[in-house]
Structure 1
Amino acid sequence: MTGLRLGPLLRYVDQDTATVWVETSGPSRAEVHCEGTTAGGSARTWQVAGHHYALITVVGLEPGTETPYRVTLDGEQVWPLPDSPFPTSTIRTLPPPEAAPEETAPLRMAFGSCRWAARPAGSRHDPMGPDALDALAHQMLSGGPRPDVLLLLGDQVYADETSERVRAKLARNRDLAEPPWGQVADYEEYTELYYESWLDPEVRWLLSTVPSCMVFDDHDVIDDWNTSEAWQREIRATDWWRERILGGLTSYWVYQHLGNLSPAELAEDPVLAAVRQADDGSAPLRAFAERADRDPTAARWSYRRDFGRVRLVMIDTRAGRVLPEDQRRMLDDEELDWLHEQVLDGGPGSVDHLVLGTSLPWLLPPAVHGLESWNNALCSGARGPRWARFSEKLRQRADLEHWAAFPRSFRALTELIERVATDQEAPASVSVLSGDVHHAYVTEPELDGLKVSGGGRRSRVVQLTCSPIHNDIPAVMRSGFRFGWSRAGRRLGQALERHARTEKPPFRWRRTGGPWFGNMLMTLTLHGRDASYALHQARPATSAPDGTPRSGLERVFTGRLDQAGSPAAGAG
C-alpha cells in the first residue's frame, strides 16, 4: 500500500478553490475529500529523483466556509493519521468578493522567517527556546486565534547548518570529510531537511490546516547566496557547487514554489507540464534550474496573491540579482517591471491594503544601512582598489547584502511605494514584511512631505520585520542592532556615507517598536480600511490538562496602522 510520506500541506486558497500538496511513498492517485460537500479533487502523482508528489486542486468549495477534509491514496485514507490527537484539518475559504467588511471577519496574516527544525551539529548558540510554529499550533489547539495565512519569509530549511540526525544520514552515503562536508550536497539530501522540518507533529498539523505562502532566502541554499559577483565566481569554481545549486533550486520548486501558485498559473506552467509527462521529471527540472541559475530572467520566483481587497506581492530578493559591480541590482529590469505591474494592477482604489513580502528588510537600522551603502560604494571602487578588496571581504563576512547594498534597487522600491502611497485613491496601508535579521522591529519612513495627487490621504507606510521563528543571535549582535538604532548609530551611518561619497537616502525612518529578540511570529490583521499588528514571542512549555507539554505565544507589542493624515497636515 502506498503511504503518505510528507504533508498534506494546504497551500493556495481563494473563495472556492484550494491546492493541497503531498509527498507519497510510491505512484498513486491522490484525492482530497471534503466532508459534507461535493467539493474535492484528485491528481496522479509525478516523480522527481525517485520521490513521488501530487499537488491536488480542490474545487467546489463555498465562499466564506470552513470545511474538514481527508486525503486518500488509491482509495485508502492516509490523512488524518490513525489515532491522531489533532483536530481534523480544514480548508477555510475567503469570503465572497461582494461581501461588505461588516459581514466578514478580519484577514489575519502571520509571518516570520529563519527556522531551525533542530539545533545544528556543533552549534555554539545559546539555548534556542521553543519553536514559534509549535507554539502557534498549541495556541490553536487550545482554542486560540487561527491565522488565515502563514507567510514564511525565508530560511525554511538550512542547507548549510545540518543537525546531528541529518548528518548521520548523510554519512551513510558519503565521506563528510570531503566537500560539502556536513552540508547537503544534492536533491536527495535536501529531502532530508524537509522531512526533519515538516514531520514535526504539531507543525505538520499546522501546515495542513493553515494556508501558507513561502519564499527562499540564503540558507535555503547557502549562507551569502548571491552576495556579489566575486562570491559567485569563487563558488562556481568549486567542484561541488553545481549539484548543490541544482538540488537547492529543484527542491525549492517542488517543496515550496509550486504551492505558491494559483491553479490557473499551475495549468500554464511549462516546467510542471514537462515534469508530469516524464517518467521521472528530474531531467526537465534540472534543465530549468540550470537556466534559472545562469540567467535570472529565465525564472520568476516572485508571485502575487489577492485576498479580496488585500494584495500580497512576494518579491524574490535572492535568485534574480544582477551582480556585476557596475550594474548591481536586487531585481533586474524585467522583474522590476513585473513588480510595478502587479502592485499597480487594477488602478487607483483597487485595493484597501498592499502587502509586500521580502525576505530581506527594506529599512535597516540607520547605522547598518549606512554601513551597507558605504561598503557597496567601496566595493565598486569609490576609494580605490585596496579599499575595494577589503570591502569585498567585509561584505561576505558580515552579510552586507540587503536592499541598502543595492542602492539602485533600494531607490526603485522606495519610489514605487511612494507612488502607491500618494495616489489619489491610495490604499489605507502599505506594509513591507521581512525577516532575516534574527530580531523584530517596526519602522516607518518619514514621508510627511509627500503630496497626495488630487488631494485625499496618503497610505500609512510601515515595515514589519520578524525573525527568527526558531533560531538565535549572539549577544554581541544584539548589542550591535541596538546601537544601530541609536542616535550615535545614525551619526555613524551618515559618516560612513560621507566617506564613500554615496547619495543620501531620500528620507529618514524612525523605529516605532523594538528591537525584540527571541523566537517570534508577527500577525498583520486587516479588515476593511483598518489595519493592526501584533508581535508574539514563543514561551517555554507548560502542561496541558492531559499532561502534554505545550509551548505558548505571548503578546509583547501591538500597534495600529491608521491611514496617514492629509497632505496639508503632513506638509508642515
Structure 2
Amino acid sequence: MSLVLGPVLRHVGDTTAQVWVQTESAGTVEILGCSATTFEVQGFHYAIVAVAGLEPDTATEYQVHLDGVRAWPEPDSPFPPSVIKTRGPSSVDRHRVIFGSCRYPKTGDAKIDDKLGLDALDCYADRLTHLPVAEWPDALILLGDQVYADELTPEVRRHLAGRRRNRHGQRPPDEVVSFSEYEGLYRHSWGDPEIRWILSTLPTAMIFDDHDIRDDWNTSAVWRAEINEKPWWRDRIRAGLASYWVYQHLGNLSPTELADDPDYRRVRDAGGDSWPHLAELADRADSEVDGDKGLRFSFRWDLGRSRFIMVDSRNARILDSGERMMLGEREFGWLEDQLGDVTELDHVVLGSSLPWLLPPAIGDVQTVNEIAANRSGLRGSLAEKVRQAADLEHWAAFMKSFLRLTELIVAVASEPANGPATVTVLSGDVHHSYAARAEVPGRHTARIHQLVCSPVHNYVPGFVKPVFKLGWSPRAARLTRRWARRRGSPELPISWRNLNGPLFGNTIAALNLQGRRAEVVFEQPRGSGELVEVARIPLTDYN
C-alpha cells in the first residue's frame, strides 16, 4: 500500500482537522493516532482522516501511516515537515488568507511551459520553506479551475488517443469522459512536488469553475440542451461531478458535517466499488427539480471573527426551467441564512469563482446580451452565439441574481456599528487581477470590495489586456450604462471603481485581516522564481 496523492490538509478548526489522501490500494490510513478506512471508486482508493484532540493555537507536525507503515513525509524530502496549525483565542481576529484561481499544470513541453510562465503557487510554496511556521498563512482558497478537463496537456492527449483508438468514435479523442481520466488530471495537477507539499500543510478550501468540467459549463439553457445531445456527455458530467465531490468537496466539510453527510456515509460504507452511488449523486447534482439542484456544494468556514462563505456559481445555476438564476431559491436561502447574523463579526468574505463586479463596461455588455438572448427569432439566436463565443455568463449576465446578491451584500454592510468592518467578494476566472470598491448611496458601516486574482498559472492572451483596460474606463462605463438602460437594464443600486489594476500575469493574492483592518496584497513571480509585490491596497484605511 502506497500514497498516490496527498496528504491534502483541508478543514481545520480549534482542535480538529481533515486530511485527504489517495492510496494505491485499500487499507487503513492513520494520522496522529486517528484513522480511517479507505473507500473505493472504480479501483481507486481514498480516505479522509478526521484528526481530533489537537490543542488550540498550536502547530503539530504529522506523518501519514498506511497499514502501519509510514508513507509521508517521503524519504529524503527536501521540504519541511507538514504541520497542522490550529486556530484559537490568540488568532481570533488576525488572519492571512491567500487566494487565486486558474492553475494550469506544468506540461513538460518547454514551448508551452515558457508561454505559461512561472507558477505563482509554486513560488509561494518555495517561500514558505524559508519561513517559520508562525508566519505561514491561515488558509489557501482555490477559486476554480483546479484542473483543466477541456484544455488538455500534450501528455493527456496522447494518453486519451491511445485509449480511444478502438472506441469506434463513440467518445472523442480530446475529451475527458471517465472517472479514471479525471483521476489522471488530478494526479498530474496535484502531483507537482511543490504543490503537493503546500497542500499538505495549508488548510485549503476549494470551489470549482467551468474548466473543472468543461469550458462554458452551464452558460445557458441552450448550451445545456446542446451538450446533452452529445452521446458521451452523460458519462462526462457524471465523472466530472463525482471526481469533484471526491477530490475537492469532501474536504470543505468539517468533521461533524462530513460525519452527518448521508452521501458520504453511503460511499464510505459501500463495501466495494462505490461508483453506482456516485453516479446517482452526480445525476442528482446536475438535475433541476422544482427550481433547485439536488446537491449543495456551497459551504462556510469560520475563522475567529471572520466568516468565509464559498458560493457555487457554476453547478448551482438554474437554467432548464427558464428562470435563469445563478443560484436556486433554496441555495439563495442557504446563503441568506449564513449572513443572517453577522453582528460581532469583523469581516465577511464571500467566495465566488466568477466575479460579482466586473469591469463596468463589460458588465453592461453582458447584461445587454442577456436581454437580447431572451428574445425569440434571429436576434435571440445571434445573441446566444455571442454569449457562448465571448463567455458572457458572469453575475452581470444573470441580472436577477446579481441584484439579489447585491441587495444581500448591501444589507450586511448596513449592519450597526458592531457589524462587520468589511464585506469582500473573492473571485477568479477572468485572467486579470484587480481590487474594486463598491459605492452605495447613503451611510453604510462596512466597506464593500470585489477582489479578483487570476490566473495563478496560465497564459493571458494579448487581446485580453486592452479589452479589460477599456472595460475599466470611466468614460466607457458611462456610455455602456446609458446603452444598457436604453436596452432595458434596471438601474443598479451601487456603482464601483477600480482601486488598482488591472494586473496581468500569474498572480497570487493575500487578504490580510487584523482586528477591523484589512488589506489585500498582489504578488507575481519574477525570473528568479521569487514573488514580487505588485500592489498593496488598504481596504479600510482610506477616505
* TM-score normalized with structure 2 length: 0.95
Show the counterpart of 1:308. 304
1:129 and 2:136 matched:
no
Q: Decide whether aligned partners of structure 1 residues 127 and 69 sit closer, same or farther in structure 2, where only a CA change above 3 A counts.
A: same
Deviations 1:264-287 (A, max 9, x none): 110111111111111111011110
Q: Is the 8 A contact 2:103 2:145 kept in 1?
A: yes
Show the counterpart of 2:432. 439
1:562 and 2:540 matched:
yes
Deviation at 1:294, TM superposition (A): 1.2
Deviations 1:67-121 (A, max 9, x none): 100000010000000111111100000023xx4x6xx683110000001003599
Deviation at 1:247, TM superposition (A): 0.4
Show the counterpart of 1:106. 94
Q: Decide whether aligned partners of structure 1 residues 113 and 307 sit closer, same or farther in structure 2, where only a CA change above 3 A counts.
A: same
Letter in structure 2 aligned against 1:353: H
Q: Is the 8 A contact 1:313 1:356 kept in 2?
A: yes
Q: Decide whether aligned partners of structure 1 residues 78 and 125 sit closer, same or farther in structure 2, where only a CA change above 3 A counts.
A: closer
SS in 1 for 2:540: coil
Matches of 1:152 and 1:10, distance apart in 2:
13
Larger CA deviation: 278-287 vs 555-564: 555-564
Deviation at 1:207, TM superposition (A): 0.4
SS in 2 for 1:443: strand
Show the counterpart of 2:44. 51
Show the counterpart of 1:335. 331
Deviation at 1:154, TM superposition (A): 0.2
Deviation at 1:43, TM superposition (A): 0.4
Show the counterpart of 2:12. 13
Matches of 2:252 and 2:245, distance apart in 1:
10
Alignment of 1:37-48 (within 5 A): 40-48=33-41
1:466 and 2:453 matched:
yes
Matches of 2:115 and 2:542, distance apart in 1:
41
Deviation at 1:492, TM superposition (A): 3.8
Show the counterpart of 1:26. 25
Show the counterpart of 1:195. 187
Deviation at 1:122, TM superposition (A): 12
Alignment of 1:234-253 (within 5 A): 234-253=226-245
Deviation at 1:187, TM superposition (A): 0.6
Show the counterpart of 2:62. 69
Alignment of 1:65-464 (within 5 A): 65-96=58-89, 99=90, 106-119=94-107, 127-143=115-131, 145-175=135-165, 178=169, 179-278=171-270, 279-295=272-288, 296-324=292-320, 326-344=322-340, 347-381=341-375, 385-424=377-416, 425-447=418-440, 449-452=441-444, 458-464=445-451
Matches of 1:82 and 1:114, distance apart in 2:
31
Structure 1: which 5+ residue stretches go unaligned? 34-39, 453-457, 543-550, 566-572
Deviation at 1:325, TM superposition (A): 7.8
Match of 1:493 among 444, 458, 480: 480
Structure 2: which 5+ residue stretches go unaligned? none
Matches of 1:60 and 1:557, distance apart in 2:
40
Deviation at 1:499, TM superposition (A): 4.2
Matches of 1:491 and 1:440, distance apart in 2:
22
SS in 1 for 2:116: coil
Match of 2:471 among 478, 481, 484: 484
Matches of 1:429 and 1:402, distance apart in 2:
23
Matches of 2:17 and 2:458, distance apart in 1:
31
SS in 2 for 1:110: strand
Letter in structure 2 aligned against 1:559: I
Q: Is the 8 A contact 2:348 2:420 kept in 1?
A: yes
1:522 and 2:500 matched:
no
Deviation at 1:367, TM superposition (A): 1.0
Q: Decide whether aligned partners of structure 1 residues 488 and 325 sit closer, same or farther in structure 2, where only a CA change above 3 A counts.
A: farther
Letter in structure 1 aligned against 2:43: G
Q: Is the 8 A contact 2:99 2:508 kept in 1?
A: yes
Deviations 1:499-529 (A, max 9, x none): 4221132221111110000100110011221
Deviation at 1:324, TM superposition (A): 4.5
Matches of 2:113 and 2:475, distance apart in 1:
29
Matches of 1:508 and 1:299, distance apart in 2:
34
SS in 2 for 1:391: helix
Deviation at 1:440, TM superposition (A): 0.1
Deviations 1:299-357 (A, max 9, x none): 0000001011110000000111111584111011110000000122xx35231100000
Deviation at 1:181, TM superposition (A): 2.5
Matches of 2:326 and 2:119, distance apart in 1:
31
Matches of 1:564 and 1:117, distance apart in 2:
39
Deviations 1:454-475 (A, max 9, x none): xxxx101111000000002211
% same residue? 46
SS in 2 for 1:127: helix
Letter in structure 2 aligned against 1:368: I
RMSD (Å) for aligned C-alpha atoms: 1.9
Show the counterpart of 1:36. none
Q: Is the 8 A contact 2:93 2:306 kept in 1?
A: no
SS in 1 for 2:334: helix
* TM-score normalized with structure 1 length: 0.90
Deviation at 1:172, TM superposition (A): 2.7
Matches of 1:192 and 1:332, distance apart in 2:
32
